[in-house]
Structure formats: C-alpha cells, structure tokens
C-alpha cells in the first residue's frame, strides 16, 4: 500500500523531521482529482481535459496520459471531436477511490510492502513497526474501498464553502 516513503528534512514544530508517506502515485492522485472534478460539476456534456488540468493545476500532457488509462479501465468515457472530452463512465456513487488507484497504479502487491523498506515484513517476520503499521494499513485499505466519488465531491463543495467564509 505504501509506494514510497520520503524523509523531508524540514523540521516540524517539534524540530523533528517529517515523514511523508505516499499511499499511491502522483498519477493516482491526479486521477482521483480529475474524477472528483467530474463528480463535482456533474456535466451534461463532455469536459475537456484542459479544463480539469487547469482547475487542479495538473500538467496537461500528464493528465491526458492518465485519462487514457482511465478510459481503458472503464472509469471514464472519452468523446472525440470538436465537442469532445470526458465524462464518468458510471455514477459517482459507483466509483470508489481504491478502483481509481488500482486502475492507475495496478493492483496492490500480493505481499505487503514494509513501512521502513525491509525486504520481508510479515506477522511471522515483523519489522520493528509492523505491529503498529499493520492496523493502519488495513484501515487505509478499508477507507479507500468505502469512499466513493459522490461523497468526496460533496465534501469538496463543503470545503470550498468553508474557505469562502
């Protein structure tokens, strides 16, 4: 589930370095943002990729490549031509975050990846953080499989309202 762990040497308020864990790739992050955008605006016609790229400050070519994957995985439909663009392939309540991540990053590995990068980490051969990390990893997987685009879009709308106050 953890694709990489990077140490940011910038101290936080406690003067200790922060750890930034990526749960999925930048491509998956951009895919989630693009699909939330579509769920949020509920378009009656296809939305141009450039509109989404601009709204989330995503490099256009990068997003266009991600969209190709999303089309192949049947999460979005693409319409070519003058009025072309993309739309969700099904209702926002029927697309879950884990489906987006798996579509872009591939299915999760058969063996769990060690949170501190050791070759092997399991219940039988645990790393020093295994017993603390395992329940967190399980919670993250459950959360990603329970969160659908419709809920996320509604929360984004609410967040924007709060930010305008």
- List, for residues 116-140, the tens digit of each pLDDT value: 888 888 899 899 999 998 999 889 8
Give domain status of residue 130, yes or no.
yes
Q: Which residues pair with 105 in a beta bridge?
A: none
pLDDT of residue 3: 40
H runs (alpha helix) in 25-96: 26-41, 49-56, 60-72
Give domain status of residue 3, yes or no.
no
H runs (alpha helix) in the chain: 26-41, 49-56, 60-72, 97-105, 130-146, 149-164
Say how far apart CA 44 and CA 46 lie, in whole Å. Answer: 7
Q: 164: which residues sit within 8 A by CB, 6+ positions away?
A: none
Give domain status of residue 54, yes or no.
yes
Question: Virtual CA dihedral for 160, 145, 63, 86, nearest 10 degrees?
Answer: -80
Q: Is 101 exposed, middle or buried (0-12, 13-18, 19+ CB in 10 A)?
A: buried
**pLDDT of 31 higher than 60:** yes
How confident is residue 48, by pLDDT bands cut at 50, 70 and 90? very high
How confident is residue 16, by pLDDT bands cut at 50, 70 and 90? low
**pLDDT of 73 higher than 50:** yes
Give domain status of residue 1, yes or no.
no
Average of per-residue pLDDT values in the chain = 87
pLDDT of residue 7: 39
Pull the structure tokens for residue 164: 């305008």
Domain count for the chain, please give it: 1
User: What pTM does this model have?
Assistant: 0.81
pLDDT of residue 131: 93
Structural domain of residue 116, as residue ranges? 24-164
**pLDDT of 29 higher than 80:** yes
Give domain status of residue 123, yes or no.
yes
Give domain status of residue 13, yes or no.
no
Residue 78 maps to which CATH number?
Answer: 1.10.10.10
Say how far apart CA 74 and CA 92 lie, in whole Å. Answer: 13
Give domain status of residue 6, yes or no.
no
């Amino acid at each position: 589930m953890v694709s990489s762990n990077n140490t940011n040497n910038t101290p936080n308020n406690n003067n200790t370095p922060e750890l930034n864990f990526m749960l999925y790739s930048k491509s998956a992050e951009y895919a989630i943002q693009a699909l939330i955008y579509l769920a949020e605006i509920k378009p009656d016609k296809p939305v141009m990729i450039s509109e989404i790229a601009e709204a989330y400050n995503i490099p256009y070519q990068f997003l266009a490549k991600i969209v190709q994957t999303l089309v192949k995985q049947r999460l979005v439909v693409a319409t070519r031509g003058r009025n072309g663009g993309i739309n969700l392939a099904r209702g926002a309540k029927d697309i879950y975050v884990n489906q987006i991540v798996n579509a872009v990053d591939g299915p999760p590995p058969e063996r769990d990846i060690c949170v501190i990068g050791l070759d092997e980490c399991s219940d039988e051969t645990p790393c020093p953080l295994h017993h603390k990390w395992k329940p967190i990893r399980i919670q993250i997987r459950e959360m990603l499989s329970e969160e659908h685009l419709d809920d996320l879009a509604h929360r984004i709308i609410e967040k924007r309202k709060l930010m305008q106050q």
